[in-house]
Amino acid sequence: MRNIIKKKVGELQINPRIKEVLLQVLGPDEDVYVESTGKGVRIIL
Amino acid sequence: MIVVRSGSVENLIWQVRSLLPQIETTPILLAQRQVGNYLIGLGTLGYIYEALSSVLETLVEAQRMAKDLGLRDYSVVIGPTESYLTTMPIPEVMPPLPQPKPVPPLPREEVRLNTFNCSDLTRGLVKFCVDNVEIAYYLSR
């Protein structure tokens, strides 16, 4: 069972450099789906 | 233009027939184009292949026709638009053709995927990776 959580871009706890790009491109209120891959985090747009 | 004497027709037919599969298996890359995750190679030896095929066809046909006409000593003249047989003893004009060699096995089709910095691919997703973060979106079906 995949564990996918719906989050807003502004709530993401990831590398600030990457978050900054997502904030610029999508905006803080855009919904994304966050999934843990074991090796890291997958953000599905 | 190619002029072949009756004595060489059989040999040339054999040589061209052996060269054709060699051309078919020679991969020549003219350009590479990336489409999504796929790298596609564009290339062809089609023109040479077509020209040699047409020469081969003409030679075989000419040989048959000469036999039907009972000609023993003749020349086949193959031109760009028309070809004919003549009994006039004219000198041969032959393009330098490479000697046929054994055909190597067909190379496997190759697809190189761009994984955009990710260590693996995920079915149904297009993605790229920065550090340990994967940015992904679903492929539309």
> Is B14 a residue whose pLDDT tops 80?
yes
Q: Chain A partners of B136 at a C-beta cutoff of 8 Å? A: 42-45
Which contiguous run of DSSP H or E holds residue A33?
Answer: strand A31-36
Label the pairing between strands B31-35 and B83-86: unpaired
Taking the CA atoms of residue B83, residue B65, residue B86 and residue B78 in that order, the dihedral angle to the nearest 10 degrees is: 20
Q: Which of B125, B132, B135 sits opposite A39 (nearest CB)?
A: B132
CB A29 within 8 A of CB A9: yes
Residue A2: band (very low, low, confident or very high) from pLDDT cuts 50, 70, 90: confident
Among B130, B133, B134, pick the best mutation site for testing chain A contact (most A Cβ within 10 A).
B133
Q: What is the pLDDT of residue B18?
A: 86
Indicate the domain borders of chain B: 2-110, 115-141
Q: Which of A1-5, B43-47, B98-102 has the lowest mean pLDDT?
A: B43-47
- The average pLDDT across B13-18 equals 89
- A15 touches B129 (CB < 8 A): no
- Write down the ipTM of this complex: 0.79
